[in-house]
Amino acid sequence: MKALGVLVIFAATAAAAQEAPGVESAQRAKMNWMLSCQGCHQPDATGSAGGAPSMAGEVARFLNVAGGREYLTRVPGVANAGLSNDQLAELLNWTLATFDKDHLPADFIPFTADEVAAGRTHPLVSEAAVLRETLRGNFVDDGRVGGAN
């Protein structure tokens, strides 16, 4: 009985790890989202008028356009978050997997603390909104992923 319990826990852990690449603790990531992000983005990432644009069902599409991956590490809300590089990388990976799993490329390489740290050294300021629209203009329209990069 005991052995079975251990097996079940092991299987559950493995499944969770597979579900969200680069997320060590989904619980911690969700807590960080609640504390640092959802005030603007809303719990379900649908955004709010004048607050933040919707990321639900869309945010991972930035990974498929040139410059998009870097953009995600430089938007003000991410770059200036009061979190360590480790936890910020985890939170970004969690955000992508939680709110736009469908567009996550099959060969997605999770963000690391180093990559996030590099983006944070040159955060976007007022140009974020314009860059966002430019990148979105390059989104692949047919809903398929892995196209342009």
Q: Which positions lie near ligand HEC, rule CB under 6 A?
A: 36-37, 39-41, 51-53, 55, 59, 72, 75-78, 81, 91-92, 95, 128-129, 132
Name the residue whose CB lies closest to ligand HEC: 77
User: Among residues 13 and 134, whose Cβ is nearest to ligand HEC?
Assistant: 134
**Greatest C-alpha distance within the chain:** 59
State the nearest-atom distance from the C-beta of 22 to ligand HEC, in Å.
13
Structure tokens at 31: 């807590």
| Residue closer to ligand HEC, measured from CB, 9 or 122 | 122
- List, as own/partner pairs, every contact residues 132-138 make where C-beta atoms lie below 8 angstroms and the sequence separation is at least 24, other chains included: 132/53, 132/71, 132/75, 135/62, 135/65, 135/67, 135/68, 135/71, 136/61, 138/65, 138/66, 138/68
7 or 40: whose CB is closer to ligand HEC? Answer: 40
